[in-house]
Structure 1
Amino acid sequence: MSRRIAAGALLAALSLLAGCATLRTLNANRADVPLVYSGTRLDWYAIHGGCCPLDHFGAEPPRHPALDLPGSVLLDTLFLPFTLAAELGVALNVSGGL
């Protein structure tokens, strides 16, 4: 029984990532949008009925921003060193892959 609950919780968490505001804002591909805690800011903006999130953040908020908020806070905190470096214009010269 506990495996079913764990699998259900994992599936629910993965389905919420599809609407993750952090990933949406970091993939916005615009230079004039904020990067530091951008997903958290977008969720907060949407929860409080902000106008025109696409203009302010370069992305639409998820359908349920209140549910997305804890995950966005977590991801924004994990990405904080990289987003701070990007905001400050520091080139990290990091490449991915094996």
Structure 2
Amino acid sequence: MSRRIAAGVLLVSLELLAGCATFRTLNAGKPDTPLVYSGTRLDWYAMHGGCCPLDRFGAEPPRYPAVDLPASVLLDTLFLPFTLAAELGVALNVSGGL
């Protein structure tokens, strides 16, 4: 039974990440859109009836922004050093791999 629960949690997590406002806004690539806490701001904007999220954030909000909000707050907080650097125009020159 625990494998079924783990598989269910994994599927729900992947579904939420696919519709996560943080990933949507950071991948939008639209110039002059907010980067710092962008997913949280998009969720909040959608929950309060904002008219034009695509124009303001470069991305559509998730179907259920209230459900997405906690994940967006967490991810936006984790990405905060990078989004602050991007907003300030600082090049971090970070590379990955082995």
Q: TM-score, normalised by structure 2?
A: 0.94
Equivalent residue number for residue 4 of structure 1:
4
Identity %: 86
Spell out the pairing of 1:12-91 with structure 2 (5 A cutoff). Answer: 12-91=12-91
What is the rounded CA distance, in whole Å, between the counterparts of 1:12 and 1:93 in structure 2?
A: 34
Structure 1 residue 96: Cα displacement: 3.3
Structure 1 residue 54: Cα displacement: 0.7
Structure 1 residue 3: Cα displacement: 1.9
What is the rounded CA distance, in whole Å, between the counterparts of 1:48 and 1:85 in structure 2?
A: 29
For the aligned residue pairs, the C-alpha RMSD in angstroms reads 1.0
Gaps of 5+ in 1: none
What is the rounded CA distance, in whole Å, between the counterparts of 2:90 and 2:25 in structure 1?
A: 19
Structure 1 segments of 4 or more deviating over 2 A? Answer: 95-98
What is the rounded CA distance, in whole Å, between the counterparts of 1:96 and 1:26 in structure 2?
A: 19
